[in-house]
Copies of this chain bind each other. A is one copy, B any other.
Amino acid sequence: MSATTYVEAVRQGLWEEMTRDEDVFVLGEDVGVYGGAFKVTAGFLDQFGEERVLDTPLCESAIVGAAIGAALMGMRPVAEMQFADFISCAFDQITNFAAKCRYRWGAGVPLVIRGPSGGGIHGGPFHSQNPEMYFVHTPGLKVVAPSTAYDAKGLIKSAVRDEDPVLFFEHKYLYRRVKEELPSEEFLVPIGKADVKRTGGDISVVTYGAMVHNALEAAEVLAGDGVELEVVDLRTLVPLDKATVLESVKKTGKVILLHEDTRTGGFAGELAAVIAEEVFEYLDGPVMRITAPDTPIPYSPPLEEFFLPKTSDVIRVARHLAAY
């Protein structure tokens, strides 16, 4: 058996769900004939036919709106945003329509919106964004951001089966850089469960998405110095697996909150609040954030490189905390 890439894992997960349940269908720009800008739906048109693999016009708001309508009728639409950045154009439908239906009038909207997010590929300000917080802050939505092929496959399958709208942010930097052998039998990864990707007793690094790999790299380096990082991969941002995060912080007493998204109003703030409120007594040092700065994502390599949080940042901050 050979290793499966992250992007292929998403593809397989969707494929399996479409095979399992006729109500599942995909829609978006260029998802059919072209198989999607990143080939997540390559081969789907041939396998599932034009009715279940819909090439739409260029209209993110209507793509999501139509997905909502179909979901209200019990279908299981999976809408692709060609780049996650373009989700801004569907913001209103997602936050006001999809998110609030169940609460307002009891109508479930089992809908997945997925797409490639994140930087590191020189995409510039409009092909590199991490839009998760806009949705984390909207009650009624679930937000998922896997870091490995296994999680990507298991979580996309759970997302399709979820009764509520799920925002599924794939990290395009990982698409072909991350791979692993996947079980041949079917598996799911539950939404709402974090995963401790490495255990360690000194400092907790709570993170998600591409930054999980930076945290793991840093942990490897620091282990050489005798500093043991525990790497908590959230996998799901909403609903947050508070128990796993708090347990880790209680154990280590020190915590780094790490994400690629920009700083002010980023998820690290939410985590800091939960930690400072609920396990304040266990803290042995300041709660440290490592994030991108508060700027749009620049294009030119030296700028983008400077913008993205990196392994060396984790190492530097961890050393500071270890000595605290």
Q: CB within 8 Å of B: which residues of A? A: 85, 88-89, 91-92, 95-96, 99-100, 103-104, 125-126, 133-134, 136-137, 139-140, 238, 240, 257, 262, 264-273, 275-278, 280-281, 283, 285-289, 293-296, 298
Contacts and interface: CB of A to CB of B under 8 A. Distances in A.
Given A134-B134, A277-B288, A240 B264 contact: yes
Contacts of A280: 283, 285-287
B276 A265 contact: no
A89 B90 CA distance: 9
A269 B273 contact: yes
11 contacts: A133-B137, A137-B264, A139-B262, A140-B295, A238-B264, A257-B273, A265-B267, A273-B273, A276-B286, A277-B287, A281-B286
A240 to B, nearest CB: 7
A314 to B, nearest CB: 15
Contact of A265 (B262, B270, B294): B270
Contacts of A96: 85, 88, 126
Nearest to A94: B88
A139 B273 contact: no
Contacts of A85: 96
A19 to B, nearest CB: 35
Nearest to A90: B92
A286 B273 CA distance: 9
Contacts of A286: 276-278, 280-281
A136 B265 CA distance: 6
B264 A270 contact: yes
Contacts of A287: 273, 276-277, 280
Contacts of A134: 91, 134, 137
Contact of A270 (B103, B104, B269, B276): B269
Given A257-B273, A268-B273, 4 more contacts: A104-B125, A133-B137, A265-B269, A272-B273
Nearest to A124: B104
Contacts of A140: 295-296
Nearest to A298: B103
Contact of A289 (B137, B139, B262, B277): B277
Nearest to A88: B92
A87 to B, nearest CB: 9
A139 B240 contact: no
